[in-house]
Structure 1
Amino acid sequence: MRVDKFLKLSRIVKRRTVAQEMAEAGAVRVSGRVAKPSTEVKDGDLLEVDFPSRFLKVRVLTADEAQLKRKATPFEVLEDRKVARDDPW
């Protein structure tokens, strides 16, 4: 599944277009690599998301679209902290 779609379906980001913009700005990493919106996400991958005032690191538990639509637990939070930044991305 594409990283932008995963971020939307897992409810980390409210809109897929916002997820695409974040990935294009370099604010999303999959297993330590900067991700494009089309980067594939698999079970077990580590996702790091830099929000303007927050850093979130999660482990993907399921990237299956059908399970995500049935409200399955999509990820495990490994780190969630507030960050003070002047420039969001």
Structure 2
Amino acid sequence: MRLDKFLKVSRIIKRRTLAKEVSDQGRVSINGVVAKASSTVKVNDELKIRFGQKIVTVTINELKETSKKEESAGMYTIVSEEKIEA
């Protein structure tokens, strides 16, 4: 599954266009490698996503083409959240 689609379906990022922009700005890495929006994600991959002043690390549990709001939280596990000092 494409990275931008996973971020949208899992509701980590609300809109796919925003997920694409964040990915293409180099703010997302998959298993330590900076990723583009078209990068492929798999189960057990670790994503690090930079949101403003914090970095969120998540592990992918499952991939789905679509998901209801209640199901989306089960698609990933938050490993850590760390603040970035300016």
TM range (shorter): 0.7 to 0.9
Matched length: 83
Long gaps (5+) in structure 2: none
- Output the TM-score relative to the length of structure 1: 0.85
Q: Distance in 2 between matches of 1:41 and 1:64?
A: 12
Aligned to 1:9: 9
Identity, in percent, stands at 37
List, as ranges, runs of 4+ consecutive aligned residues in structure 1 with deviation greater than 4 Å. none
How far residue 22 of structure 1 moved from its aligned partner, in angstroms, is 0.7
SS at match of 1:59: strand
Q: Distance in 1 between matches of 2:65 and 2:54?
A: 26
Considering only aligned residues, what root-mean-square deviation do their CA atoms show, in Å?
A: 1.3
Long gaps (5+) in structure 1: none
Give the conservation status (yes or no) of the 8 Å contact 2:9–2:64.
Answer: no
C-alpha deviations, 1:39-61, integer Å up to 9, x for none? 01100000000011221001000
SS at match of 2:59: strand
